Chain A
Amino acid sequence: MNQDTLLQVRNLKVSFRGEEGELTEALKGINFDIPRNRTVALVGESGSGKSVTSMAIMQLLPARNTVIDPASQVTFEGRDLLALEGAELRKMRGKDIAMIFQEPMSSLNPVFTVGDQIAETLMLHAGLGRRDAFKRAVALLTEVGLPDPEKRAKAYPHELSGGQQQRVMIAMAIACEPKLLIADEPTTALDVTIQKQILQLLADLQKKHGMSVLFITHDLGLVGEFADDVVVMRHGEIREAGSVEQIFNAPANPYTKALLNCRPHLDSRPLRLAVIDDFMQPGGYVKPGERVRGYEASDEIILDVQHLAKSFDIRQGLFGKRQFHAVKDVSFQLPRGKTLGIVGESGSGKTTVGLTLVRLHQATGGKALFHGKDLLAMSAREFHEYKRRIQIIFQNPYASLNPRFTVEQILTEPMMLHGIGRVQMERVKMAQALLDRVGLPARSLSRYPHEFSGGQRQRIAIARCLTLKPEVLICDESVSALDVSVQAQVLNLLQELQDEYKLSYLFISHDLAVVKHISDQVLVMNKGEVVEQGDSDAIYRAPAAAYTRKLLDSIPTGWQPQAA
């Protein structure tokens, strides 16, 4: 083993035993090295086995249903980690190799203060007394940039924000100066501006402590700025491994190429996004032309929202109530066949806007004129007819389809409720046609949602909306939960449908690149208020508001030669 190699993974093969005793291979014998003092990024979409790899290194996989092939080897400084047991294994965990996880909130014990939880590691591995350990914990919290660390050390996890919790997790992980830090999707649950800070912190700490970092993520764009080496995984295999420069500049594997091109970029807007199939076919991917977007004076406005407001009552004190303003004075216009994007971080009120327009929340102020008629002032009976014309697609493809319905029921129900099609046969035919349109086989009709993947479910959800032939489609984070490659496919589908049916989209997302790609006009929201509004190209080129600039600066830029 090379002196500079810290961790060496050889032929790592992991299977899981299903409930019927059948084995599913999660890792099909992978090999890679983590050199000392370097950051290695493990990139892959869901089901690629990237998290399984990290858990296998730490021996954190559930023993009951995990089968690790005996030929597998994970060598850390000359020792085979997979052979470690008992006290030796525990000494390795936390001291030599530390780990941080995706969900900082649930990964911290809710009933102990964060200071105590950091001190626990120090008492265990560094042999410090309680008092010294706590002092050191405060110092660590200072190091990871937590404001007012003395006070925060005595706080419970739920009293901190998501970003602060992740800083606590990092402090806990670096407490014993580990040689390797495994970060498993550490920023996926965080807002984009916070993500930027956490990534910066990790990069700084890596340099300062001279440790190695194994950074696991689904987002290839994220790793360009600070990883040294990249390992691309798919379906339990390694597709490509190399330096970050090579991966970004001269990717050899078509899958890597596809991953790099699937994500919408801020500086280009192709007519159609690249999908994986484009790269897998002989001939490769030919970049299509650019699409020009933006509102035009001749556009027919079909939805005119004026001073929309929504507030919730929060109980306070003995009988008191406090109003929480989720949305304050939002106005916009949506023309036929165009897309208005709404971007904002969590808590910006962007989702509430969408829900009030379809009256899933009752608005507390303002008007929403749809063809001149105020949707918000209608009676429930009057609105029923309009439900057909404004439809909504939700974020979570796993929650938005009734698990007890077959696809046929899901697709024919809206038609039945609105008297579309005279008999069931006719409706089933229409449903079949729509399934075909969104790219699913007709035999899907008799299946249940759990038999489909996330992307397929989102297609079904889109088909359900299309059954009503709506004019406006509200997409509430509709592609956010999908893998990048699937995201591109669904975005392409949405674009095709817009071109075909002249649909108007209200596209709500936290993802600036996606919004830029699909929107004609963009509305930036923060804490319930509109920060900035305008043509998407204009806003991205020259943001007027400081908040918009901050958002744009947080977008990972990928690998840049000067940064390397």
Chain B
Amino acid sequence: MTTMINQAAPAATETRPQRGLWAMGWRRLKRNKVAFCSFWVVMAYMLLAVAGWLNILGDGWRAQIAVPYAPPSFLAKTVADTLPPEAPVAGGTASAPALIMVTPEEDPIGKEMEIARQNMGKYATANDAKLESLPFGADLRGRDVIHKTLKGASTSIFVGLLGALLSIVIGTSLGSVAGYFGGKVDDFLNWFYSVFTSVPDMLLLLSFAAVAGRGIKTIIIVMALTSWTGTFRLVRAEYLKLRSREYVQAASAIGASDARRMFVHILPNISHLLLVQFSLLTVALIKYEAILSFLGFGVGVTQVSLGSMLAEAPAELVQGFWWQMVAVTIAMSLLVTTFSLLIDGLRDALDPKAR
């Protein structure tokens, strides 16, 4: 993306602004206000995701800083009355005044208590009085929903991006070989493709996930292994079409090798399609991750993603605690909406027919 900006800048100052196709696409995108705003929102999400992986943002999501299901601050007063009795929290008694007075000598655990009391300072933060409300409330264990959402979104985007990238790599390599060489290779890869597509995608995804187990890395691999077929079909069709295009034939006539024709001549000419496909896949995989985690095949129990947060929603809603779900919905919908609008914009901007 940065290279595009760099290319566009000098081009715009020239008298004849038409340059490479990417620069032209970028100019068109800029003119499409909706898509351009969406672009920046998506970029902000990407930044957030990066910050999340580097543990700059949302790192403290595990800290149980508030009472369970602490309401959002803007609701704190009205909800306080309806809150269920406070659930006992492990370690919470340390700061409570001792009701039964026993001397340290009589107390069977007196020594340990004494040591614990001395060490209290070290755990001061964990043992602080729990907050009654948080800007956007807390979950069952009193964790800040905002932090959790940030971290969760970061995980989901990470999974979506890497999964989509891996999936594109698989689909493109197989598709380009099948489409370019045809013949027996194509037959074999087509067989492979038809095997994968004859199982409905959700079933395939679940089967892989059930076998592979939970965890972020597993999920990325599973989603890549089950979602490459769309890219394969697209890339194969494009290679089939482009390999007989005159400029590729001309490249052959001047002595360009197969590899050169495949990757130097054809690949850049479908790169805009791949970018769109990559974006589509990212969105799809973010949605799939949510469903997988919801069904219990997603990220590990110690990790958080938008899906694993949604999995907690049914139990919370019944008790009237809606904020975690709303937070996730907002975070996810904004991402998916802007991403979709960006994809629409990209499609128009990069459409070679439009010029």
Contact = CB atoms under 8 A, between A and B. Distances in A.
B268 to A, nearest CB: 4
A93 B352 CA distance: 34
Given A417-B254, A448-B21, A404 B268 contact: yes
A48 interface: no
A394 B269 contact: no
Interface stretch (B230-238, B245-253, B276-284): B245-253
Nearest to B20: A448
Contacts of A396: 246
Given A403-B21, A418-B255, A450 B355 contact: yes
A342 interface: no
Contact of A404 (B21, B249, B254): B21
Nearest to B32: A19
B18 interface: yes
A417 B264 CA distance: 13
Interface residues of B, number: 26
B31 interface: yes
A392 B250 CA distance: 7
A400 B247 contact: yes
Contacts of A417: 254-256, 260
Nearest to A355: B249
Interface in A372-407: 384, 387-388, 391-392, 394-396, 399-404, 406
A400 B246 contact: yes
A20 B28 CA distance: 9
Given A399-B246, A400-B246, A402-B265, A387 B355 contact: no
Contact of B253 (A20, A360, A450): A360
Given A404-B21, A448-B20, A360 B254 contact: no
Contacts of A402: 247-248, 251, 265, 269
Contacts of B265: 402
A391 B253 contact: yes
B33 interface: no
B255 A387 contact: yes
B117 interface: no
B19 interface: yes
B246 A19 contact: no
B18 A451 contact: yes
A468 B246 CA distance: 18
A464 B254 contact: yes
A388 B256 CA distance: 11
Contacts of B246: 394-396, 399-400
Contacts of A403: 21, 247, 269, 352
A240 interface: no
B315 to A, nearest CB: 52
The A interface, classified by DSSP as helix, strand, loop or mixed, is loop
Interface string A5-44: 0000000000000011000000000000000000000000
Interface in A328-366: 355, 358, 360
Q: Which of B16, B31, B249, B269 has the most chain A CB atoms inside 10 A of its CB?
A: B249
B249 to A, nearest CB: 5
A363 B19 CA distance: 41
Nearest to A448: B20
Contacts of A169: none
A402 B254 CA distance: 13
Contacts of A387: 253-255
Contact of B18 (A384, A401, A413, A450): A450
B31 A20 contact: yes
Interface in A393-452: 394-396, 399-404, 406, 413-414, 417-418, 448, 450-451
Interface string B339-355: 00000000000001011
A461 interface: yes
Contact of B28 (A19, A394, A418): A19
B250 A461 contact: yes
Contact of B255 (A355, A384, A400, A406): A384
Interface string A463-496: 0100010000000000000000000000000000
A396 to B, nearest CB: 6
Contacts of A468: 254
A146 to B, nearest CB: 34
Contact of A19 (B20, B21, B31, B352): B31
12 contacts: A360-B252, A394-B250, A402-B265, A403-B247, A404-B21, A413-B251, A414-B255, A417-B260, A450-B18, A451-B16, A461-B250, A464-B254
Q: Which 8 A-B pairs have the closest CB atoms?
A: A414-B254, A400-B246, A394-B246, A404-B268, A399-B246, A387-B255, A402-B247, A417-B255
Interface of B: 16, 18-21, 28, 31, 245-256, 260, 265, 268-269, 352, 354-355
Interface of A: 19-20, 355, 358, 360, 384, 387-388, 391-392, 394-396, 399-404, 406, 413-414, 417-418, 448, 450-451, 461, 464, 468
Given A20-B31, A355-B249, A403-B21, 13 more contacts: A19-B31, A358-B253, A360-B253, A394-B246, A399-B246, A400-B246, A406-B20, A414-B255, A417-B255, A448-B20, A448-B21, A450-B355, A461-B250
